[in-house]
Amino acid sequence: MIWLAAVILPILFWQQGADTAPELRKSGVTHIAVPPAAAADWKTTGIVAEPLDLASTIKLPAPGVALRMDEASASHVPWVSSNGWRFLRQPTAKFYYDKPSSPALAAAEAFTFGGQAFIRPAADSAESLTKMLDFLKTINFDHAESINDIRFIDDRSALSGELMNLMVRDNLLFQIVHSRAADSKLTVQLGSKEYPTSTGSDANSLVHRIRTNLTDDKRRIRVFGTSVVIVRVTGGVDQPRVHLLNYGAPAHIRIGAFRIRILGRYSKSQFHCFGTPNAQLMDFNAQSDATEFTVPSLNTYAVVDLAR
């Protein structure tokens, strides 16, 4: 497990004037970021307005899915565009989303991966962002550790970045480290005998080798029935939290029922689903060494809190 310094809520980047403070307060917004030149105008508005120079941030692409041709099946398959690996690689950086098609998903993505993110929504999507921020405030912040299967030694190369992106997409849980450890399920170091970077080695073949070496039986968590949901597991082994992100949300893809399998026997669960306050898990089955359950549907984001 790796400790995250803090759980950080994403922040609304607001370029409109201080005369819009009543509108923001009505929406429940109490903390924003503004251009440095405008910060003084907000001092008496009752809203915390921190100055943000966008030049100090890393601009992120909008999270979502795109359809790509699969040559083997001669059909289009969804390709998940996630920034998870970027947050993991630069945990202390400031990131910026500029008018993402789903600011709610952007906020949930940053929250899930512990990134410090600022979001400027389009005018017609600001409400969805504030609703997500309100939802995130209701989630207990005690789950600040990530639970992983793989120790990944990042050499900062483009290939490492591509490989981390694929591991996030494939729900292979990893943490970035600087050295090997004897108690790790699997350590991945590019350029080693197990993971060569010679001609012909690409990220797809390497991630296939990682998945094979880890084995499905040892994977902390697996997802069945969807290819556009990315998971992350945080908390302790006795009380893990499963984050579920639907990257089809910007395309208005509401995911139907899908199955989760997580190692460990858990008898208690709480399901918190954005947009569906009374949702319940289905077919909950606590086995001797693993627990399985069905998520009935997923609009954008949800968390499942488990306990023994």
Per-residue model confidence as pLDDT tens digits over 214-239 = 999 999 999 999 999 999 999 989 99
DSSP H or E stretch at residue 132? helix 126-137
The band of 73, judged by pLDDT with boundaries at 50, 70 and 90, is low
What average pLDDT does range 188-197 have in this prediction? Answer: 92
Amino acid type, 295: V
The band of 66, judged by pLDDT with boundaries at 50, 70 and 90, is confident
Q: Are 203 and 163 in contact (CB under 8 A)?
A: yes
Residues sharing a CB contact under 8 Å with residue 286, sequence separation 6 or more, in sequence order = 265, 266, 267
Q: Are 241 and 266 in contact (CB under 8 A)?
A: no
Location of each CATH 2.60.40.1180 domain in the chain:
221-307
pLDDT > 90? residue 60:
yes
pLDDT of residue 133: 95
pLDDT of residue 220: 97
pLDDT of residue 200: 62
Amino acid type, 56: S
d(CA 218, CA 235): 19
Average per-residue pLDDT in the chain?
A: 91
pLDDT of residue 182: 67
pLDDT of residue 2: 41
pLDDT > 50? residue 1:
no
d(CA 43, CA 32): 12
3-state secondary structure of 147: coil
What average pLDDT does range 251-259 have in this prediction? Answer: 91
Q: Are 63 and 109 in contact (CB under 8 A)?
A: yes
Number of Cβ atoms within 10 Å of the Cβ of 64: 22
The band of 199, judged by pLDDT with boundaries at 50, 70 and 90, is low
pLDDT of residue 64: 96
Q: What is the topology classification, in CATH, of domain 221-307?
A: Immunoglobulin-like (2.60.40)
pLDDT in tens, 91-135: 999 999 999 999 999 999 999 999 999 999 998 899 999 999 999
pLDDT in tens, 4-32: 434 579 999 999 999 999 999 998 899 99
The band of 74, judged by pLDDT with boundaries at 50, 70 and 90, is very low
Of residues 142, 141, 132, the one with CA closest to residue 274: 132
Residue labelled with tokens 């969804």: 78
